[in-house]
Amino acid sequence: MEIDQRIIYLHRRYLTDSLSTSEAREWERILSDPNCEGKIKAIMQSTWAAIDTKNQEELPTEKAGTIFRDITHSPSVKSRFPWLRVAAVFVALLTIGYFFLDNKTDNDHQAAIQSDVLPGGPKAMLTLTDGRMINLSSSHEGIVVGDDITYVDGTFVISPESDTRIPDSRLVTLSTPKGGTYKITLADGTNVWLNSASTLRYPSRFNGNERVVELEGEAYFEVAAQAKKANNLRISESADSPSVPFRVVSKGQHVEVLGTQFNIAAYPDEPNTKTTLVEGSVRVTPLSDHPLPNTILKPGQQSVSSTKRLDVIDVDPQTELAWRNGRFNFDGKDLRQVMGELERWYDIEVHYEGRIPAIEFFGGVHRNNNLSTVMHILETNGIRYRLENGQKLTILSHIETNRKED
């Protein structure tokens, strides 16, 4: 049997707890072999794909959630195969959630469901220049800025009969709470999607020779290149200036773009600001007490800026933009980073008791799952937690587990 088929065979035997003693040793040797890393990851990706289509007969659901859990506690595996340092494999989340919701026979699980935390959705607050705050409808996913402010279906956010008119160049604020996302189409035709706990400040009209917005949190931008052609844009229409620069000011940097798609993650509680380019070109200029050179990103690159340095790395944009496609992506993230994303999306407070395990995750899960589905994976992999009042989530000490002998 060829090695690829042998790996697949042993993998399936592992999932069904049917490995013999000799097969278990062979499986551990394969996991410890760096030459097999790519093949193991490929199997995991196909596992994820199968789960995403809810192919319940294709995979054993409960065991899929603990792939490599026990084997990764082996010192030899840890030292020779460092990428396997994971606490949980999130490729099984969708299936496990589906399995448990359809099999409510466990009393503890039923109790957890009753106090479960639902995922976020369209929520946002619009603050006008006169201080008025408008709680935007959760039945809509976005607004459009023009002579009037409307939802994407054309219904009015502010009645056209009202005497409210937002003065030109005054900043309006769109903010999403924890557990909220919202889209806005600016007056120049630029589309912006705000992630949870984020704020965008923008002028009701772009006047002059540039378009400037301010961001705190995370947002994905599709910038309109030919700004002067957008409807309702009161801006210079000189034939010598066919395009007007678009700038985003965020924590520790400003980004200059012209007709491009990119993502900025600039949460105040995160140490770095990350700008990921999907297409086009952007110039990232650090705002720091230490003089730092600016950099121009190419598609597939990400700048990581802090108060003292600016680095550029190659990334998979679709992985970085998983949130825009309704997914979490936890590749290479530690427990604090994962819990930070859950905290913002499920509007919870995360606390820690005891030792925080130094672990990594890979894989992902749909953001439309309830919190219990996500937390079940952590629990099956040695992370204990306590949820109080549906909002305070306490991560308890990490339980080390050892592989059972056959």
| Structural domains of the chain ordered from first start | 1-117+326-406 (3.55.50.30), 121-315 (2.60.120.1440)
d(C-alpha 388, C-alpha 28), whole Å:
39
Query: Residue 116's pLDDT is what?
Result: 83
CA dihedral 131, 135, 140, 142 (to 10 degrees): 30
Six-digit token string for 262: 């990119």
- Do 64 and 47 meet the contact criterion of CB atoms below 8 Å apart? yes
- Model pLDDT for residues 168-199, shown as the tens digit of each residue: 567 899 999 999 999 999 988 999 999 999 99
d(C-alpha 137, C-alpha 166), whole Å:
20
Q: Rounded to a whole number, what is the distance in angstroms from the first to the last CA of the chain?
A: 24
pTM for the structure as a whole: 0.73
Query: Residue 52's pLDDT is what?
Result: 46
Burial class (CB in 10 A: 0-12, 13-18, 19+), 245: middle
Q: Averaged in consecutive runs of 10 residues, what is the pLDDT profile of the chain (406 residues)?
A: 69 72 82 75 59 42 39 45 44 40 43 70 92 93 90 86 59 95 94 98 84 96 69 42 80 88 94 94 85 89 89 91 91 88 95 81 84 79 81 74 38
Residue entry with tokens 């040797």: 29
Query: Residue 132's pLDDT is what?
Result: 87
- Do 307 and 294 meet the contact criterion of CB atoms below 8 Å apart? no
CB atoms within 10 A of CB 151: 16
CA dihedral 118, 119, 122, 125 (to 10 degrees): 80
